[in-house]
Amino acid sequence: MKTFLTATCLSLFMLTTAVSTGFGADKVLNLFIWSEYMPDEVLADFTKETGIRVNIATYDSNEAMYAKIKLVGKGYDLIVPSSDYVGLMRRQGMLIPIDVNKISNFKFIAPQFTNQSFDPDNKYSVPYMWGSTALAINTSLLPAETVQQTADLWKPELKGRLLLPNDPREVIGLGLKTLGYSINEKDPKHLQQAFEKLRLLKPSVRVFDSDSPKQAILSGEVSVGLMWNGEAFIANKENKMIRYLYPPEGFSLWLDSFCMPKGAVNIDAAYRFIDYILQPKVAAYLSQSIGYSSPNTGVSEYLPEEMKNNPIVYPPAQDAVRGEFLDSLDENTMKLYEQYWIQIKSK
């Protein structure tokens, strides 16, 4: 027993040291990214073309990524935060400026994604993928005219039939949008109004889920759900009766961008990687294989019609204008969010 134990320990130890010292490429890039957000083939091709090996580490929420970067600081060269976290990290001086002139393919980024409030002049971020958070409606359970705008969610027939994201920004944002305010509203009075309004919505909510909301709408547990377009896209693929509505009051947009955290070491590799990803052909491949919209203007000639013309993936221009990007909030506003969120959830 004892010899067996020591033998296992020893072999394990040797194995791990062998594994950890086995590699030794000169050029590496430590990429910290949402999981399932960068296909292996693309990384392999990049390594083949440039000789740079990519170490990939994954996260599943902006919050967790932020906490790790904030606490640890070093170890990662490239991260992919969403717009509000780009804003937050930029304001807190956690990012290295990016010189877009060094990125020859930056010209392909559509102007509606550059120069946003969370990063004026794109000094710190380069857009990667974007999408929306709007209403998915199962029209086989509900006449389509029942829900035509966010204000309709308060209708009594939706009691216990609604899904909202498990995320304070999106939920309180819904209240703000319904009342006609900005999703990044900071006025405490308006926030209070949004909270009062949302309190009345609680009986309608059956589920709070932002991980896999398509599940609940596909199985018919809920009739309407506020979810991001990737989920709605899959739900619609499985059941054509599920429609995606960009409400007239407006909706929130998300944009994930490449940023370099302070503490990044392999800066050149990071630039080369961004430039590689922004090639229209690569961007089109990525958009197609992960199923999100690319902010790259060059992708349209490579994308199949059914994707290009799918309003869930690429919202029509007249709808897109009502979208608003999430930006970071100041500490005092966050305090209010915290207070309201706990009250919404705990009652």
Partner 1 sequence: MNRWVRWGYAGGIYLFLYLPLAVVAVFSLNNSKYSLAWKGFTFDWYVRLWNNTDLMTTAFHSLVIAASAATLATLLGTGAAFILHHYRFPGRHALFGVLFVMMMSPDIVIAISLLLLFLALFLPLGFITLLIAHTALCVPFVAITVYSRFHGFPTDIVDAARDLGANEYQVFRKIILPLAAPAVVAGWLLSFTLSLDDVIISFFTTGPDYEVLPLRIYSMVRLGIKPDVNALCVVLMIITATALILTRKLLKEKT
Partner 2 sequence: MNESLFFRRLLIGTTWGWVCLLALIPYIILLGVSWLQPGTDTLVLPTITKENYRHLLSPEVFTITAESVLLAACTALLCLAVGYPFAAILANAPAKLQPPLLLLVMIPFWTNSLIRTYALIMLLKADGLINTALIRTGLLTEPLQLMYTPFAVFIGLVYTLLPFMILPLYAALKAVDPKLLEAGRDLGASWLQNFLKITIPLTMPGIIAGTMLVFLPALGMFYVSDILGGARTMLLGNYIRDQFLVFRNIPMGSAASITMTLAMGLLLLLYYLATRRSGGRVMR
Of 188 and 316, nearer to partner 2 (C-beta) is 188
Helix (H) or strand (E) holding 76: none
224-228 and 323-325 beta bridge pairing: unpaired
Identity of the residue, 58 or 104, whose beta carbon is nearer to partner 1 in the bound complex = 58
Given partner 1, partner 2, none, residue 16, with its beta carbon under 5 to 8 Å by kind, binds: partner 1
**Rg, C-alpha atoms of the chain:** 22
Closer residue to partner 2 in complex, CB, 102/202: 202
Which of 10, 14, 60, 330 touches partner 1 by CB under 8 A?
Answer: 60
DSSP string covering 258-322? EBEETT---HHHHHHHHHHHTSHHHHHHHHHHHT-B--BGGGGGTS-HHHHT-TTTS--HHHHTT
For 82, which DSSP code?
B
Query: Which residue carries 């550059």 as its tokens?
Result: 114
Q: Is 58 in the site for partner 1 (CB under 8 A)?
A: yes
3-state helix, strand, coil in the chain (%, to 5): 50, 20, 30
- Least distance to partner 2 from the beta carbon of 201, Å? 12
Nearest Cα to Cα of residue 326 among 178, 198, 177: 177
Determine if 140 is a binding residue for partner 1 (CB under 8 A): no
Q: Which two tokens stand for residue 213?
A: 């909301």
CB of 3 to partner 2, least distance (A): 20
Please say which residue, 153 or 283, places its beta carbon nearer to partner 2: 153
How is residue 150 annotated by DSSP?
A: G
Query: Quick check: 30 binds partner 1 (CB under 8 A)?
Result: yes
47 near partner 1 (CB under 8 A): no
Q: 95 CB contacts (<8 Å, ≥6 apart)?
A: 86, 89, 124, 125, 259, 260, 261, 262
Is residue 20 involved in binding partner 1 (CB under 8 A)? yes
**List of residues contacting partner 2 (CB under 8 A):** 61, 63-64, 66-67, 70-71, 92-93, 166, 168, 205-209, 211-212, 215-216, 219-221, 331, 334-335, 337-338, 341-343, 345-347
Nearest to 62 by CA among 29, 34, 36, 98: 34
Write the interaction track for partner 1 spanning residues 117-136; mark x where CB under 8 A is met and - where it is not. Answer: --------------------
**Complex with partner 2: residue 169 or 272, whichever CB lies closer:** 169
Structure tokens of 98?
């990016």
Q: Is 8 in the site for partner 1 (CB under 8 A)?
A: yes
Q: DSSP string spanning 174-216?
A: HHHHHTT--TT---HHHHHHHHHHHHHHGGGEEEE-SSSTHHH
* Per-position x/- string for 189-228, each x denoting binding to partner 1 as judged by CB under 8 A, each - no binding: ----------------------xx-xx--x----------
82 in contact with partner 1 (CB under 8 A): no
Which candidate, 334, 342, 339, 324, places its Cα nearest to that of 118? Answer: 324
Q: Of the two residues 163 and 307, which places its CB atom closer to partner 2 in the complex?
A: 163
Q: Give the interface with partner 1 as residue ranges (CB under 8 A).
A: 1, 4-5, 8-9, 12-13, 15-16, 20, 30, 32, 34-36, 40, 55-60, 64, 67-68, 71-72, 75-76, 211-212, 214-215, 218, 230-231, 234, 237-238
